[in-house]
Structure 1
Amino acid sequence: MVEKGMPLELFAFMAWRIWNQRNKVYVNLQSSPLHQVAKQARAMLAQYQMTTWTAELQLGSSGIRGTRWSPPQAGFVKINFDGAVFSNANSSGVGAVIRNHDGAVMASCAEKLNEAYKAEEIEALAALKALQLAFDLGFQNAILEGDSLGLIKALKADDHNLSPLGLLVEDVKLAASNFVSLSYSHIKRNGNSVAHNLAKHAISIPDFQVWMEDVPSHVVSFLHSDVVHLP
Protein backbone atom coordinates (compact mmCIF):
# COMPACT_ATOMS: atom_id res chain seq x y z
CA MET A 1 0.00 0.00 0.00
CA VAL A 2 2.87 2.38 0.85
CA GLU A 3 4.77 3.17 -2.34
CA LYS A 4 8.50 3.82 -2.57
CA GLY A 5 9.19 7.52 -3.02
CA MET A 6 5.70 8.47 -1.80
CA PRO A 7 5.40 12.22 -1.02
CA LEU A 8 5.48 12.92 2.70
CA GLU A 9 2.11 14.72 2.61
CA LEU A 10 0.42 11.71 0.96
CA PHE A 11 2.02 9.37 3.50
CA ALA A 12 0.66 11.55 6.33
CA PHE A 13 -2.87 11.49 4.92
CA MET A 14 -2.67 7.73 4.38
CA ALA A 15 -1.44 7.15 7.93
CA TRP A 16 -4.25 9.32 9.28
CA ARG A 17 -6.81 7.44 7.18
CA ILE A 18 -5.60 4.04 8.43
CA TRP A 19 -5.69 5.30 12.03
CA ASN A 20 -9.19 6.72 11.47
CA GLN A 21 -10.47 3.41 10.11
CA ARG A 22 -8.88 1.57 13.04
CA ASN A 23 -10.79 3.83 15.45
CA LYS A 24 -14.06 3.10 13.63
CA VAL A 25 -13.50 -0.64 13.93
CA TYR A 26 -12.65 -0.21 17.61
CA VAL A 27 -16.00 1.48 18.37
CA ASN A 28 -17.99 -0.78 16.04
CA LEU A 29 -18.65 1.84 13.36
CA GLN A 30 -18.70 1.08 9.64
CA SER A 31 -15.23 1.41 8.10
CA SER A 32 -13.97 1.54 4.53
CA PRO A 33 -12.34 -1.49 2.89
CA LEU A 34 -8.56 -1.42 3.24
CA HIS A 35 -7.98 -1.29 -0.53
CA GLN A 36 -9.82 2.08 -0.66
CA VAL A 37 -7.54 3.80 1.87
CA ALA A 38 -4.94 4.92 -0.70
CA LYS A 39 -7.61 6.32 -3.03
CA GLN A 40 -9.28 8.21 -0.18
CA ALA A 41 -5.91 9.56 1.03
CA ARG A 42 -5.10 10.91 -2.45
CA ALA A 43 -8.51 12.59 -2.65
CA MET A 44 -7.98 14.20 0.76
CA LEU A 45 -4.51 15.39 -0.27
CA ALA A 46 -5.92 16.96 -3.43
CA GLN A 47 -8.58 18.76 -1.40
CA TYR A 48 -5.94 19.93 1.09
CA GLN A 49 -3.71 21.29 -1.68
CA MET A 50 -6.63 23.14 -3.25
CA THR A 51 -7.71 24.57 0.13
CA THR A 52 -4.16 25.76 0.88
CA TRP A 53 -3.77 27.29 -2.58
CA THR A 54 -7.10 29.11 -2.31
CA ALA A 55 -6.29 30.45 1.16
CA GLU A 56 -2.91 31.74 -0.03
CA LEU A 57 -4.59 33.49 -2.96
CA GLN A 58 -7.12 35.12 -0.63
CA LEU A 59 -4.42 36.31 1.75
CA GLY A 60 -2.26 37.61 -1.06
CA SER A 61 -5.02 39.48 -2.84
CA SER A 62 -6.48 41.05 0.28
CA GLY A 63 -3.19 42.02 1.86
CA ILE A 64 -4.44 40.66 5.18
CA ARG A 65 -1.86 39.02 7.45
CA GLY A 66 -2.01 37.53 10.92
CA THR A 67 -5.23 35.62 10.18
CA ARG A 68 -3.78 32.13 10.44
CA TRP A 69 -4.58 29.88 13.37
CA SER A 70 -1.83 29.78 15.98
CA PRO A 71 -1.36 27.22 18.77
CA PRO A 72 -1.66 28.06 22.48
CA GLN A 73 1.26 28.03 24.87
CA ALA A 74 2.32 24.72 26.42
CA GLY A 75 -0.05 23.62 29.19
CA PHE A 76 -3.05 25.26 27.50
CA VAL A 77 -5.54 24.21 24.86
CA LYS A 78 -7.16 26.46 22.31
CA ILE A 79 -10.91 26.04 21.79
CA ASN A 80 -12.18 27.32 18.47
CA PHE A 81 -15.91 27.63 17.94
CA ASP A 82 -18.35 28.80 15.29
CA GLY A 83 -22.05 28.77 14.49
CA ALA A 84 -24.07 28.39 11.31
CA VAL A 85 -27.71 29.15 10.52
CA PHE A 86 -29.66 26.97 8.08
CA SER A 87 -32.66 29.19 7.43
CA ASN A 88 -34.22 26.94 4.79
CA ALA A 89 -34.22 24.03 7.23
CA ASN A 90 -35.28 26.19 10.21
CA SER A 91 -32.26 24.96 12.15
CA SER A 92 -28.77 25.98 13.22
CA GLY A 93 -25.46 24.31 13.89
CA VAL A 94 -22.53 24.77 16.23
CA GLY A 95 -19.02 23.41 15.89
CA ALA A 96 -15.94 23.36 18.10
CA VAL A 97 -12.43 21.95 18.04
CA ILE A 98 -9.95 21.69 20.92
CA ARG A 99 -6.24 21.62 20.08
CA ASN A 100 -3.05 21.57 22.13
CA HIS A 101 0.21 23.52 21.76
CA ASP A 102 1.38 21.19 18.98
CA GLY A 103 -1.80 21.74 16.97
CA ALA A 104 -2.98 18.20 17.68
CA VAL A 105 -6.73 17.70 18.01
CA MET A 106 -7.88 16.72 21.46
CA ALA A 107 -11.56 16.61 20.51
CA SER A 108 -14.09 18.17 18.16
CA CYS A 109 -17.86 18.31 18.05
CA ALA A 110 -20.86 19.43 16.05
CA GLU A 111 -24.44 19.89 17.16
CA LYS A 112 -27.64 20.52 15.23
CA LEU A 113 -30.23 22.79 16.88
CA ASN A 114 -33.81 22.72 15.71
CA GLU A 115 -34.24 26.48 15.49
CA ALA A 116 -32.90 29.13 13.13
CA TYR A 117 -31.23 31.44 15.65
CA LYS A 118 -29.94 34.92 14.92
CA ALA A 119 -26.29 34.97 13.88
CA GLU A 120 -25.06 36.53 17.12
CA GLU A 121 -27.12 34.10 19.21
CA ILE A 122 -25.77 30.99 17.51
CA GLU A 123 -22.23 32.27 18.01
CA ALA A 124 -22.86 32.54 21.75
CA LEU A 125 -24.44 29.08 21.83
CA ALA A 126 -21.41 27.69 19.97
CA ALA A 127 -19.07 29.26 22.53
CA LEU A 128 -21.11 27.76 25.36
CA LYS A 129 -21.08 24.27 23.82
CA ALA A 130 -17.33 24.54 23.19
CA LEU A 131 -16.62 25.42 26.82
CA GLN A 132 -18.90 22.67 28.10
CA LEU A 133 -17.10 20.09 25.97
CA ALA A 134 -13.66 21.25 27.10
CA PHE A 135 -14.66 21.28 30.77
CA ASP A 136 -16.29 17.84 30.55
CA LEU A 137 -13.03 16.49 29.10
CA GLY A 138 -11.06 17.86 32.04
CA PHE A 139 -9.23 20.80 30.47
CA GLN A 140 -8.57 23.60 32.94
CA ASN A 141 -6.35 26.10 31.10
CA ALA A 142 -7.71 27.32 27.79
CA ILE A 143 -8.10 30.04 25.20
CA LEU A 144 -11.57 30.43 23.69
CA GLU A 145 -11.30 31.72 20.14
CA GLY A 146 -13.96 32.69 17.60
CA ASP A 147 -14.50 34.89 14.56
CA SER A 148 -17.35 36.96 16.02
CA LEU A 149 -15.66 40.17 17.13
CA GLY A 150 -18.85 41.44 18.79
CA LEU A 151 -19.16 38.32 20.96
CA ILE A 152 -15.49 38.32 21.98
CA LYS A 153 -15.76 42.00 22.98
CA ALA A 154 -18.91 41.24 24.98
CA LEU A 155 -17.20 38.35 26.77
CA LYS A 156 -14.27 40.58 27.72
CA ALA A 157 -16.53 43.39 28.97
CA ASP A 158 -17.50 43.70 32.63
CA ASP A 159 -21.00 45.09 32.06
CA HIS A 160 -24.17 42.99 32.18
CA ASN A 161 -26.96 42.96 29.61
CA LEU A 162 -30.40 41.50 30.33
CA SER A 163 -31.38 41.14 26.67
CA PRO A 164 -31.75 37.57 25.30
CA LEU A 165 -28.28 37.84 23.74
CA GLY A 166 -26.89 39.39 26.91
CA LEU A 167 -28.18 36.46 28.96
CA LEU A 168 -26.48 34.03 26.58
CA VAL A 169 -23.23 35.96 27.01
CA GLU A 170 -23.63 35.67 30.78
CA ASP A 171 -24.08 31.90 30.39
CA VAL A 172 -20.79 31.72 28.50
CA LYS A 173 -19.04 33.79 31.18
CA LEU A 174 -20.44 31.48 33.86
CA ALA A 175 -19.12 28.42 32.02
CA ALA A 176 -15.75 30.15 31.64
CA SER A 177 -15.54 30.69 35.40
CA ASN A 178 -15.21 26.91 35.86
CA PHE A 179 -11.71 26.99 34.37
CA VAL A 180 -8.52 27.70 36.29
CA SER A 181 -7.38 30.02 33.49
CA LEU A 182 -9.36 31.10 30.45
CA SER A 183 -8.89 33.98 28.03
CA TYR A 184 -10.72 35.13 24.91
CA SER A 185 -9.27 35.62 21.45
CA HIS A 186 -10.69 36.89 18.16
CA ILE A 187 -9.57 35.54 14.80
CA LYS A 188 -10.79 36.23 11.28
CA ARG A 189 -12.93 33.64 9.49
CA ASN A 190 -10.13 32.10 7.42
CA GLY A 191 -8.25 31.32 10.63
CA ASN A 192 -11.33 29.62 12.07
CA SER A 193 -12.06 27.28 9.17
CA VAL A 194 -12.04 24.02 11.16
CA ALA A 195 -14.74 25.18 13.59
CA HIS A 196 -16.64 26.84 10.73
CA ASN A 197 -16.81 23.61 8.75
CA LEU A 198 -17.78 21.62 11.83
CA ALA A 199 -20.69 24.01 12.35
CA LYS A 200 -21.77 23.57 8.72
CA HIS A 201 -21.47 19.79 9.13
CA ALA A 202 -24.16 19.91 11.83
CA ILE A 203 -26.90 20.03 9.19
CA SER A 204 -26.02 16.44 8.22
CA ILE A 205 -26.17 14.87 11.70
CA PRO A 206 -29.24 14.01 13.84
CA ASP A 207 -28.26 16.02 16.93
CA PHE A 208 -24.86 15.95 18.67
CA GLN A 209 -21.61 14.21 17.77
CA VAL A 210 -18.13 14.19 19.28
CA TRP A 211 -14.88 13.06 17.63
CA MET A 212 -12.10 12.23 20.10
CA GLU A 213 -8.65 13.24 18.82
CA ASP A 214 -10.20 13.55 15.38
CA VAL A 215 -12.41 15.55 13.02
CA PRO A 216 -14.74 14.42 10.21
CA SER A 217 -12.78 13.34 7.13
CA HIS A 218 -13.87 16.30 4.98
CA VAL A 219 -12.53 18.73 7.60
CA VAL A 220 -9.03 17.23 7.67
CA SER A 221 -7.78 19.44 4.82
CA PHE A 222 -8.69 22.58 6.80
CA LEU A 223 -6.99 21.12 9.86
CA HIS A 224 -3.77 20.56 7.94
CA SER A 225 -3.93 24.06 6.45
CA ASP A 226 -3.85 25.43 10.00
CA VAL A 227 -0.73 23.53 11.06
CA VAL A 228 1.32 23.27 7.85
CA HIS A 229 3.09 26.56 8.61
CA LEU A 230 3.95 25.63 12.20
CA PRO A 231 7.63 24.89 13.02
Structure 2
Amino acid sequence: MFEKIILLCWAIWHSRNKRIFEGKHTEAVEIVAFADKYWKELHAATSVVLQPGVRSDRNSVRWEPPENDVVKINFDATCVRQPLDPTSAEAKAAVLAVHLARERNWTKVIIEGDSFVVISAIKGTSDSRAGYGNIIMDIQRISEDFEEFRVQHILREGNRVAHEVASLSKQGDYHLFDLPPLIHSVISLEMC
Protein backbone atom coordinates (compact mmCIF):
# COMPACT_ATOMS: atom_id res chain seq x y z
CA MET A 1 0.00 0.00 0.00
CA PHE A 2 2.84 2.38 0.85
CA GLU A 3 4.31 1.90 -2.65
CA LYS A 4 0.96 2.83 -4.23
CA ILE A 5 0.83 6.04 -2.19
CA ILE A 6 4.38 6.93 -3.23
CA LEU A 7 3.50 6.22 -6.87
CA LEU A 8 0.39 8.42 -6.62
CA CYS A 9 2.47 11.23 -5.12
CA TRP A 10 4.91 10.89 -8.02
CA ALA A 11 2.02 11.01 -10.53
CA ILE A 12 0.66 14.17 -8.87
CA TRP A 13 4.13 15.76 -8.93
CA HIS A 14 4.58 14.77 -12.59
CA SER A 15 1.18 16.26 -13.47
CA ARG A 16 2.04 19.43 -11.57
CA ASN A 17 5.28 19.79 -13.58
CA LYS A 18 3.40 19.27 -16.84
CA ARG A 19 0.97 22.04 -15.84
CA ILE A 20 3.72 24.46 -14.78
CA PHE A 21 6.24 23.82 -17.57
CA GLU A 22 4.05 22.71 -20.48
CA GLY A 23 0.70 24.28 -19.63
CA LYS A 24 -1.05 20.87 -19.72
CA HIS A 25 -3.83 20.38 -17.19
CA THR A 26 -4.73 16.88 -16.01
CA GLU A 27 -7.88 16.02 -14.09
CA ALA A 28 -7.51 14.24 -10.74
CA VAL A 29 -9.34 11.17 -12.09
CA GLU A 30 -6.81 10.89 -14.92
CA ILE A 31 -3.89 11.17 -12.48
CA VAL A 32 -5.30 8.37 -10.32
CA ALA A 33 -5.99 6.21 -13.40
CA PHE A 34 -2.43 6.82 -14.67
CA ALA A 35 -0.93 5.89 -11.28
CA ASP A 36 -3.09 2.76 -11.08
CA LYS A 37 -2.13 1.65 -14.60
CA TYR A 38 1.53 2.38 -13.90
CA TRP A 39 1.31 0.38 -10.67
CA LYS A 40 -0.16 -2.60 -12.52
CA GLU A 41 2.59 -2.46 -15.17
CA LEU A 42 5.28 -2.15 -12.53
CA HIS A 43 3.78 -4.98 -10.50
CA ALA A 44 3.54 -7.22 -13.60
CA ALA A 45 7.16 -6.52 -14.54
CA THR A 46 8.59 -7.05 -11.07
CA SER A 47 6.48 -10.06 -10.19
CA VAL A 48 8.00 -12.02 -13.09
CA VAL A 49 11.55 -11.07 -12.13
CA LEU A 50 11.04 -11.80 -8.44
CA GLN A 51 9.39 -15.21 -8.90
CA PRO A 52 11.20 -18.22 -7.43
CA GLY A 53 13.09 -20.11 -10.09
CA VAL A 54 13.88 -17.03 -12.15
CA ARG A 55 17.59 -17.04 -12.87
CA SER A 56 19.30 -15.02 -10.16
CA ASP A 57 22.80 -15.21 -11.62
CA ARG A 58 22.54 -12.21 -13.91
CA ASN A 59 26.19 -12.55 -14.94
CA SER A 60 25.37 -15.76 -16.80
CA VAL A 61 22.99 -13.92 -19.14
CA ARG A 62 24.33 -14.00 -22.67
CA TRP A 63 23.16 -12.70 -26.00
CA GLU A 64 21.97 -15.56 -28.19
CA PRO A 65 22.37 -15.33 -31.96
CA PRO A 66 19.23 -15.87 -34.06
CA GLU A 67 18.60 -18.69 -36.50
CA ASN A 68 20.46 -18.40 -39.83
CA ASP A 69 17.69 -16.72 -41.83
CA VAL A 70 16.56 -14.34 -39.06
CA VAL A 71 17.89 -10.88 -38.21
CA LYS A 72 18.01 -9.91 -34.55
CA ILE A 73 18.11 -6.23 -33.62
CA ASN A 74 18.88 -5.34 -30.03
CA PHE A 75 17.61 -1.91 -29.02
CA ASP A 76 18.50 0.38 -26.16
CA ALA A 77 17.15 3.76 -25.05
CA THR A 78 20.65 5.22 -25.02
CA CYS A 79 20.41 5.82 -28.79
CA VAL A 80 17.40 8.11 -28.38
CA ARG A 81 18.47 11.75 -28.27
CA GLN A 82 15.07 13.16 -27.33
CA PRO A 83 14.28 14.16 -23.74
CA LEU A 84 11.87 11.34 -22.90
CA ASP A 85 11.09 9.34 -19.79
CA PRO A 86 12.99 6.01 -19.73
CA THR A 87 10.08 3.83 -20.87
CA SER A 88 9.18 6.14 -23.74
CA ALA A 89 12.84 6.25 -24.77
CA GLU A 90 12.95 2.44 -24.81
CA ALA A 91 9.76 2.37 -26.90
CA LYS A 92 11.27 4.93 -29.29
CA ALA A 93 14.43 2.82 -29.61
CA ALA A 94 12.26 -0.22 -30.38
CA VAL A 95 10.37 1.60 -33.14
CA LEU A 96 13.69 2.78 -34.62
CA ALA A 97 14.78 -0.88 -34.72
CA VAL A 98 11.56 -1.86 -36.49
CA HIS A 99 11.97 0.98 -39.00
CA LEU A 100 15.56 -0.14 -39.67
CA ALA A 101 14.37 -3.69 -40.36
CA ARG A 102 11.72 -2.45 -42.75
CA GLU A 103 14.14 -0.10 -44.56
CA ARG A 104 16.59 -2.97 -45.04
CA ASN A 105 13.80 -5.23 -46.34
CA TRP A 106 14.49 -7.89 -43.74
CA THR A 107 11.55 -10.29 -43.64
CA LYS A 108 12.28 -12.36 -40.53
CA VAL A 109 13.05 -10.15 -37.58
CA ILE A 110 13.53 -10.39 -33.83
CA ILE A 111 13.76 -7.20 -31.82
CA GLU A 112 15.22 -7.62 -28.38
CA GLY A 113 15.47 -5.15 -25.52
CA ASP A 114 15.89 -4.93 -21.78
CA SER A 115 12.68 -3.04 -20.98
CA PHE A 116 10.17 -5.64 -19.79
CA VAL A 117 7.39 -3.03 -19.83
CA VAL A 118 8.01 -2.11 -23.49
CA ILE A 119 8.38 -5.75 -24.58
CA SER A 120 5.13 -6.66 -22.79
CA ALA A 121 3.33 -3.72 -24.39
CA ILE A 122 4.51 -4.70 -27.89
CA LYS A 123 3.41 -8.28 -27.29
CA GLY A 124 0.05 -6.94 -26.17
CA THR A 125 0.33 -8.45 -22.70
CA SER A 126 0.05 -5.08 -20.98
CA ASP A 127 -1.95 -1.93 -21.54
CA SER A 128 -0.27 0.53 -23.90
CA ARG A 129 -2.41 3.59 -23.22
CA ALA A 130 0.56 5.24 -21.56
CA GLY A 131 2.34 8.20 -23.15
CA TYR A 132 4.30 5.81 -25.35
CA GLY A 133 1.16 3.95 -26.49
CA ASN A 134 1.22 5.47 -29.98
CA ILE A 135 4.79 4.25 -30.45
CA ILE A 136 3.74 0.74 -29.39
CA MET A 137 0.80 0.80 -31.80
CA ASP A 138 3.16 1.91 -34.59
CA ILE A 139 5.44 -1.05 -33.86
CA GLN A 140 2.50 -3.45 -33.83
CA ARG A 141 1.20 -2.05 -37.13
CA ILE A 142 4.59 -2.26 -38.88
CA SER A 143 5.24 -5.76 -37.49
CA GLU A 144 2.40 -7.08 -39.64
CA ASP A 145 4.52 -6.32 -42.75
CA PHE A 146 7.13 -8.92 -41.80
CA GLU A 147 6.99 -12.58 -42.70
CA GLU A 148 8.11 -13.36 -39.16
CA PHE A 149 8.30 -10.90 -36.27
CA ARG A 150 9.23 -11.69 -32.68
CA VAL A 151 9.88 -9.55 -29.65
CA GLN A 152 12.11 -10.80 -26.85
CA HIS A 153 13.12 -9.52 -23.45
CA ILE A 154 16.73 -9.82 -22.35
CA LEU A 155 18.19 -8.72 -19.05
CA ARG A 156 20.38 -5.61 -19.21
CA GLU A 157 23.49 -7.75 -18.74
CA GLY A 158 22.71 -9.58 -21.97
CA ASN A 159 22.06 -6.35 -23.86
CA ARG A 160 25.46 -4.77 -23.16
CA VAL A 161 26.56 -4.61 -26.79
CA ALA A 162 23.42 -2.72 -27.80
CA HIS A 163 23.89 -0.36 -24.86
CA GLU A 164 27.55 0.35 -25.72
CA VAL A 165 26.84 0.86 -29.43
CA ALA A 166 23.89 3.12 -28.62
CA SER A 167 25.99 5.18 -26.23
CA LEU A 168 28.34 5.95 -29.14
CA SER A 169 25.56 8.11 -30.56
CA LYS A 170 26.16 10.55 -27.71
CA GLN A 171 29.75 10.97 -28.91
CA GLY A 172 28.74 11.81 -32.47
CA ASP A 173 28.22 9.86 -35.65
CA TYR A 174 29.86 6.52 -36.30
CA HIS A 175 29.70 3.91 -39.02
CA LEU A 176 28.13 0.63 -37.94
CA PHE A 177 30.92 -1.44 -39.48
CA ASP A 178 33.75 0.71 -38.12
CA LEU A 179 33.16 0.39 -34.40
CA PRO A 180 35.73 1.24 -31.73
CA PRO A 181 37.83 -1.52 -30.11
CA LEU A 182 35.73 -1.36 -26.91
CA ILE A 183 32.68 -2.58 -28.83
CA HIS A 184 34.67 -5.37 -30.47
CA SER A 185 35.87 -6.54 -27.05
CA VAL A 186 32.32 -6.48 -25.64
CA ILE A 187 31.11 -8.50 -28.63
CA SER A 188 33.93 -10.99 -28.17
CA LEU A 189 33.03 -11.42 -24.49
CA GLU A 190 29.37 -11.98 -25.43
CA MET A 191 30.28 -14.68 -27.95
CA CYS A 192 32.37 -16.71 -25.46
After TM superposition, is the score higher than 0.5? yes
Residue identity matched to 1:74: N
Q: CA RMSD in A?
A: 2.2
- How much identity, in percent, do the aligned residues show? 31
Contact 2:121–2:128 (8 Å) recurs in 1: no
Note the alpha carbon deviations across 1:149-181, whole angstroms, 9 max, x for none: 111111111676444211111112122222110
Q: Name the residue aligned to 1:104.
A: none
Q: In the alignment, does 2:176 pair up with 1:211? A: yes
* Alignment TM-score, normalising by the size of structure 2: 0.64
Q: Name the residue aligned to 2:187.
A: 223
Summarize the Cα distance change of 1:75–1:180 in structure 2 as closer, same or farther, 3 Å threshold.
Answer: same
Tell me how many residue pairs correspond in the alignment. Answer: 137
Tell me how far apart the structure 2 counterparts of residues 158 and 63 of structure 1 sit (CA, whole Å): 26
Q: How do residues 1-231 of structure 1 correspond to structure 2 at under 5 angstroms?
A: 63-64=57-58, 67-84=61-78, 93-94=79-80, 113=81, 115-157=82-124, 161-205=128-172, 210-212=175-177, 215-228=179-192
**Bigger fraction of residues in strand:** 1
Tell me how far apart the structure 1 counterparts of residues 136 and 150 of structure 2 sit (CA, whole Å): 15
Deviation at 1:223, TM superposition (A): 1.1
Find the residue that maps to 1:69 and give its secondary structure. coil
Summarize the Cα distance change of 1:218–1:63 in structure 2 as closer, same or farther, 3 Å threshold.
Answer: closer
Tell me how far apart the structure 1 counterparts of residues 114 and 172 of structure 2 sit (CA, whole Å): 23
- Structure 1: 5+ residue runs without aligned partners? 1-61, 85-92, 95-112
**Bigger fraction of residues in helix:** 2
- Structure 2: 5+ residue runs without aligned partners? 1-55
Note the alpha carbon deviations across 1:181-231, whole angstroms, 9 max, x for none: 01111111111011111221111116xx5524x534331111111212xxx
